[in-house]
Amino acid sequence: MNMGGAIRREGMLLCLVGPSGGGKTTFALQLLEKDPHGLVKNVSVTTREKRPAEVEGREYIFVAREEFQRLRDSGQICEWEEVHGNFYGTLSSTVDEAVEAGKDLILDIDIRGAFKHKQRSSQHVVVVFLLPPDAEELVRRIRDRSSTTEDEIGRRLRTAAHEYELLLDDFSGAHWVDYVVVNRDRELAYRTLEAIICAERQRSVRLNREDLQALCRIEPKGK
């Protein structure tokens, strides 16, 4: 039992989804810097090549395709997708440990991967779709990436179109996307994400029942 009126809770998976240029990575880093004790960065497993500035275990856990398939087939990867020819996956142990410890795991993830997490454990998963204000701004942000070639721009735009299609399909179907945040003003979008996290942490489904019962107990006073 926590003292001082605090209620323990289970952690959640905060899935930031959307196209390149939507702000997923930038916002994830900002949120982690602001709340390093309550938020945990998910380190995905991937088969893609490590870039020069990346550090093993910080951005990703880099493995060969054979090792990825072994982890997946043995159930150690709970969600995976193939994106631009590379595998990306989430370790089951990372998710389970965060939820049990009351930590909130941030995932910068493909929308299909977020939907798989929803299928696995919907009450622990919050999906936020970060949306650029318009197509022109989407293209501009993708082009601003110095390492992006014309072929890569075309591929990212096709991926964005597919993600928008999944968003609209979900809007009239399962409603697995919980929030849509239009990233027109970065400061406003960031404050909106903070508000979402604050509200989701108070959801009754995540709260510890014993702590809640203790707070609701009324002891009759003697005459």
**pLDDT in the model for residue 1:** 42
Per residue in 183-193, pLDDT tens?
A: 999 999 999 99
Q: Where are the beta strands (DSSP E) in 102-203?
A: 104-108, 125-131, 179-182
Note the pLDDT of residue 83: 82
189 within some domain = yes
In a domain, residue 127? The reply is: yes
Does residue 57 fall inside a structural domain? yes
Question: Model pTM?
Answer: 0.87
- Longest CA span, the chain: 82
Average pLDDT for residues 175-198, to the nearest whole number? Answer: 96
Strand order in the sheet with 86-91: 60-62, 44-46, 86-91, 77-83
**Is residue 214 situated within a structural domain?**
no
For residue 207, being part of any structural domain is answered with: no
pLDDT of 196 reads 98
Is residue 221 domain-resident? no
* Number of domain units in the chain: 1
If you average pLDDT over every residue of the chain, what do you get?
Answer: 91
Which CATH number do you get for residue 44?
A: 3.40.50.300
Amino acid 222: pLDDT: 63
Q: Is residue 147 part of a domain?
A: yes
Residue 223 has pLDDT above 70, yes or no: no
Task: Give the HSE-up count for residue 78: Cα atoms under 13 Å, Cβ half-sphere.
Answer: 17
Q: 84 lies in which domain range?
A: 13-202
The reply to whether 210 falls in a domain is: no
Per-residue pLDDT, averaged over 82-89, amounts to: 90
Please give the average per-residue pLDDT across 190-197, as a whole number. Answer: 98
